[in-house]
Amino acid sequence: MSYFDLSNSKLKIIAAITLTAVGSEILYYALKKFRRIPKAEVENEVLFFPDKGIACPAYFERKSGCNQSVCSYIHEVTNLRRVIIRLREAKKTLDVCIFILTCQEIGQEIVNLKRNGVKIRVIVDYEMANSTGSRIELFRRHGIPIRTKKVLQLMHHKFAIIDGECLICGSFNWTMQAVTANWENVIITSEPGLVQPFAIEFQRLWDEFSCLT
């Protein structure tokens, strides 16, 4: 019997395994080439709070910069500003699911996005919606839909999804206490395998919760 006689059952099995392996490798490289977001384009960023101060609005927002001889703000990019820069990237949608939101800077950025035509949805904890300094009433005045649920349990999530493609999540509540005093973390990623589960969870809660009245 020839060594390469494929009538031999063992050789048939070896040939099948070899063809399967080759086919799988071809499929792998084809998927890698045509996948929607190549791995090299995935962006990941990790931020840690507290910030050592608040970034000077004039220094970053005005062409002339800050003209104060003594400025109480800091003239460097803070982690709060990095979060705001990411929020400004929203072109179509912004879904926010947050336990509490009292940070004026973030609140104003969300209102600005609404004015620029971005579709915004906000889910918030029922008790925290009307807490001191909450930005939720501001959102309502600008026509941003808010949903919540009156239950004993906390709606303790802290995440946002930008254009369905970028996730901001972590321990960080959107408050000045978290910005300047607490030890907090934020992960920003465009990894689809992480963004998609959060998008699904947001939609599930949006469907389950009711409009804030």
Per-residue confidence (pLDDT) for residue 166, from 0 to 100: 98
Is the domain of 46 the same as that of 142? yes
CATH number of the domain that residue 86 is part of: 3.30.870.10
In a domain, 64, yes or no: no
Nearest to 61, CA basis, from 118, 119, 112: 112
Is the domain of 169 the same as that of 191? yes
In a domain, 69, yes or no: no
Q: Which domain holds residue 21?
A: 9-38
pLDDT in tens, 110-147: 999 999 999 999 999 999 999 999 999 999 999 999 99
The whole-chain average pLDDT of the chain stands at: 87
Residues catalogued as catalytic = 156, 158, 163
For residue 178, what are its two tokens? 């978290």
Average pLDDT over residues 30-57: 76
Does 158 have pLDDT greater than 80?
A: yes
**pLDDT > 70 fraction of the chain, expressed in percent and rounded:** 81
Is the domain of 106 the same as that of 207? yes
**Length of the chain in residues, anyone?**
213
Is the domain of 47 the same as that of 32? no
Residue with tokens 């703000």: 73
Per-residue confidence (pLDDT) for residue 8, from 0 to 100: 57
Greatest pairwise CA separation for the chain in angstroms: 95
Does 3 have pLDDT greater than 80?
A: no
* Helix 79-87 vs helix 104-115: crossing angle, to nearest 10: 20
- How far apart, in whole angstroms, are the C-alpha atoms of residue 107 and residue 160? 13
- How far apart, in whole angstroms, are the C-alpha atoms of residue 184 and residue 170? 8
Is the domain of 122 the same as that of 203? yes
| Position 9 confidence tier, pLDDT thresholds 50, 70, 90 | low
- How far apart, in whole angstroms, are the C-alpha atoms of residue 97 and residue 129? 12
**pLDDT > 90 fraction of the chain, expressed in percent and rounded:** 77
